[in-house]
Structure 1
Amino acid sequence: MPTVENFSAWLRDYAAVVHDNAGLLTDLDSAIGDADHGSNMDRGMTAIVALLDANTFDTADALFKKVGMTLVSTVGGASGPLYGTFFLRFGAALQGVDPIGAPALGAALRAGVDGVLARGKADLDDKTMYDALAPALAAYDAATGDGIGPALAAAASAAAAGRDRVTPLVARKGRASYLGERSADHQDPGATSVTLLLESAAATLS
């Protein structure tokens, strides 16, 4: 069952993954967006590592509240508010929960995704990060009985499948939607960074 230390390890791992994939994320965003998703996410997660280096957190909700606020203030574009809201809601759902079992972690993921929905107002097939988050959440819930490790692995696989499923589609939300038909057959950068987030969670929280 994940502890604050495990969650910190997840964030550090995700920061490293984002740094390693910053070029890919920016290349994807250059095709259908502002060409800054990789640099923005890298800057935000670098700030999270600095936050972890400088502070000790006693509870998961305290950790993720600070993480969310930091991302909102350091990540440009839509990504800061969306990822910041995800982590703020994720942490709030874990307040007072100890130990954190598979159902509680699933409830926190759902709270985070609901936060993204409330802020981004996207639907399935709009070709956004939600197209990776929604199937990931469903897969996690279906596998909750198997424990956190298998549930997160199922979520990560479903996120990747969701990312790939909407790649051929025309974007209906966000900067990419301005391109109309030209946004088809381009992989969505937000769905890609969300998939990396869940793959990192599966690797570190299992």
Structure 2
Amino acid sequence: MAVDVVDITALQRWLRTFAASVAEQRDHLTALDAAIGDADHGANMHRGMTAVVDALATASSDDPAALLKQTGMTLVKSVGGASGPLYGTLFLRMAPATGGATTLDAETFAKALRAGLEGVVARGKAELGDKTMVDALAPALDALDAALGGGESLAAGLRAASAAADEGRDATIPLVARKGRASYLGERSAGHQDPGATSAALLVAAAADAVAEQDDPS
């Protein structure tokens, strides 16, 4: 039976899974950033998520909002470049959207993710098509909302969201960057996959994996 709630354990599993994915893809993220940025996205995200996982030892045992806020603040403090403020804002905006609940139903979790995306958009002034992490996150959350609206489970919705995030990530390749350091390259930024969209797709995939594991602990 599908478990359509996200509790503190699932949130911690999400963060640990994302951290592991970032560690595994660190060199790939750096190579992508070397082509159109500062060549530090992999190292920055790895440092930040390592700090997030270390901070889980002192996280509240049953307060999702506190955990999300702690995660956001940790990323702002420990991640350099634009990634720290953007990923930090995502989690900081998610926190109050939980409404103080100790377990988040599917709709509340989707609402919190949407609040996080809105924070990223406001902070980075980026829109869909600007060749940023928004290009992975926006279609992912649209797919999640559509799945939940159609009666799908949270696990199924997040799988659809992950597939949409991957498509959005790949769709950044031909785009000309309009935001961030990549925008300085102008037309030369086309033909390169955006590192921010790539790490954002890992974030969505980690959420799908965390909830799938909750549904089937075996």
> Which range, TM-score by smaller chain?
over 0.9
Question: Contact 2:6–2:106 at 8 Å: present in 1 too?
Answer: no
Equivalent pair of 2:129/2:135 in contact (CA under 8 Å): yes
Give the structure 2 partner of residue 97 of structure 1: 101
Indicate conservation of the 8 Å contact 2:162/2:204, yes or no.
yes
Extract unaligned runs of 5+ from structure 2. 213-218
Q: Tell me which amino acid in the other structure corresponds to 1:148.
A: L
What's the TM-score once normalised by structure 1's chain length?
A: 0.97
Report how far residue 205 of structure 1 moved: 1.7
Q: Aligned residues: percent identity?
A: 58
Q: Which residue of 1 aligns with 2:38?
A: 34
1:171 aligns with 2:177: yes
Cα distance change on mapping 1:160 and 1:115 into 2, 3 Å: same
Match status 1:79 vs 2:83? yes
Equivalence for 1:154: 160
Number of equivalenced pairs: 206
Comparing 63-72 with 99-108, which one deviates more in the overlay?
99-108
Q: 1:60 aligns with which of 46, 64, 80?
A: 64
1:129 and 2:164 aligned: no
What is the identity, as a one-letter code, of the residue corresponding to 1:15? A
In the TM superposition, structure 1's runs of 4+ consecutive aligned residues that sit over 6 Å from their partners are none
Give the alignment of 1:4-15 within 5 angstroms. 4-15=8-19
C-alpha distance in 1 between matches for 2:103 and 2:57: 25
Q: Tell me, which stretches of 5 or more residues in structure 1 are unaligned?
A: none
Give TM-score scaled by structure 2 length. Answer: 0.92
Q: CA deviation at 1:56?
A: 3.6
Matched, 1:18 2:22: yes
Give the Cα separation in 2 of the matches to 1:88 and 1:57.
18
For residues 87 and 164 of structure 1, the distance between their equivalents in structure 2, rounded to whole angstroms, comes to: 24
- Once the two structures are superposed, residues 53-105 of structure 1 have per-residue CA deviations (whole angstroms, 9 ceiling, x without a partner) of 24443210010111100000000000000000000111211132354211111
Cα RMSD for the two superposed structures:
1.0
Q: In 2, distance between residues paired with 1:36 and 1:117?
A: 22
**3-state SS, counterpart of residue 136 of structure 2:** helix
State the SS of the aligned residue for 1:146.
Answer: coil
Instruction: Give distance in 2, aligned partners of 1:62 and 1:53.
Output: 13
2:143 maps to which residue?
139
